[in-house]
């Protein structure tokens, strides 16, 4: 696959082997300017900002994915297959299903259930189960433990629909699914197909069970720092 691609105006040398991937371009810039030394903008096509810099001596990139599986599907596919990226760590937000999760808790998505048809492209003779890289998952758990962050590990629901029918998503909670977001299943599929690594970390931003627990737009953009620091610590330079 030739570079630059239609969506990323860069060369492989511009991008680190590990990319942190928030959904929001504002959050991408926030991470780069807050945590990275000497961040350099390598992409701004369609306003999807990507930066490469250094975190504690490790070369790391951060780039937005946009919202939903079609969007992260495009960017993660190009990063894995055109830019030689080895690892993508999604750093996003999710709505919680589990009563023991609260705002700013971290969900480590070991598996990703979905209502998407994304995996149909692989023509598999059954249902593919998109999962995270085990080593990344274990290191994320260890880092959360070290920092005293309240977290849960398990399945997350990756949905194609944001405005669903009332109560529909809660059916997943009966199967132990921890929460809902919109990107992880496509990311995990692309990683599996490319033989690369992926992990989705999500900070709880709202709740389907505990009424009244919801972050503001500003909090979603800027207050996910604990999760971001975990991702940076486990990133491979």
Coil, helix or strand at residue 77: helix
Pairwise CA distance, residues 100 & 93, whole Å: 17
Residues 114/181, Cβ–Cβ less than 8 Å:
no
Pairwise CA distance, residues 197 & 179, whole Å: 22
Annotate 11-41 with DSSP letters as a single string: -GGGS-SEEEE-S-HHHHHHHHHHH-EEEEE
Name the architecture of domain 12-234: 3-Layer(aba) Sandwich (3.40)
Pairwise CA distance, residues 135 & 7, whole Å: 30
Q: 59 exposed, middle or buried (CB, 10 Å; 0-12, 13-18, 19+)?
A: middle
How much is the pTM?
0.95
pLDDT of residue 223: 67
Of 24, 84, 169, 206, which one is the catalytic site residue?
206
pLDDT of residue 221: 63
Residues 93/148, Cβ–Cβ less than 8 Å:
no
Per-residue pLDDT of the chain (237 residues; tens, 9 = 90+): 889 999 999 999 999 999 999 999 999 999 999 999 999 999 999 999 999 999 999 999 999 999 999 999 999 999 999 999 999 999 999 999 999 999 999 999 999 999 999 999 999 999 999 999 999 999 999 999 999 999 999 999 999 998 877 667 788 999 999 999 999 999 999 999 999 999 999 999 988 887 767 778 777 666 689 999 999 999 987
Q: How crowded is residue 219: how many other Cβ atoms within 10 Å of its Cβ?
A: 15
Burial letters 135-161, b for 16+ CB under 10 A, else e: ebbebbbebbeeeebebbbebbbbbbe
Residues 97/170, Cβ–Cβ less than 8 Å:
yes
Q: Is 24 a catalytic site residue?
A: no
Residue 208 C-beta-side C-alpha neighbours within 13 Å: 21
């Amino acid at each position: 696959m030739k570079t630059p691609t239609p969506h990323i105006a860069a060369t492989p040398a511009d991008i680190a082997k590990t990319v942190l991937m928030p959904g929001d371009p504002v959050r991408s810039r926030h991470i780069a300017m807050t945590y990275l030394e000497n961040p350099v903008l390598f992409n701004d096509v369609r306003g999807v900002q990507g930066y490469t810099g250094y975190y504690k001596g490790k070369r790391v990139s951060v780039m937005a994915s946009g919202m939903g599986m079609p969007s992260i599907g495009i960017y993660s596919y190009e990063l894995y297959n055109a830019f030689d990226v080895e690892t993508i760590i999604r750093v996003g937000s999710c709505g919680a299903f589990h009563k023991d999760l609260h705002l700013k808790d971290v969900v480590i998505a070991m598996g990703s259930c979905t209502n998407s048809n994304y995996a149909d492209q692989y023509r598999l003779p059954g249902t593919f189960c998109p999962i995270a890289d085990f080593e990344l998952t274990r290191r994320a758990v260890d880092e959360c433990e070290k920092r005293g962050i309240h977290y849960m590990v398990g399945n997350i629901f990756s949905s194609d629909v944001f405005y669903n029918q009332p109560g529909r998503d809660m059916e997943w909670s009966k199967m132990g699914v921890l929460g809902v977001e919109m990107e992880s299943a496509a990311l995990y599929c692309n990683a599996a197909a490319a033989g690369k690594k992926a992990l989705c970390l999500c900070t709880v931003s709202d709740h389907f069970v505990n009424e009244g627990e919801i972050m503001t737009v500003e909090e979603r953009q800027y207050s996910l720092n604990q999760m971001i620091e975990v991702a940076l610590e486990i990133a491979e330079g």
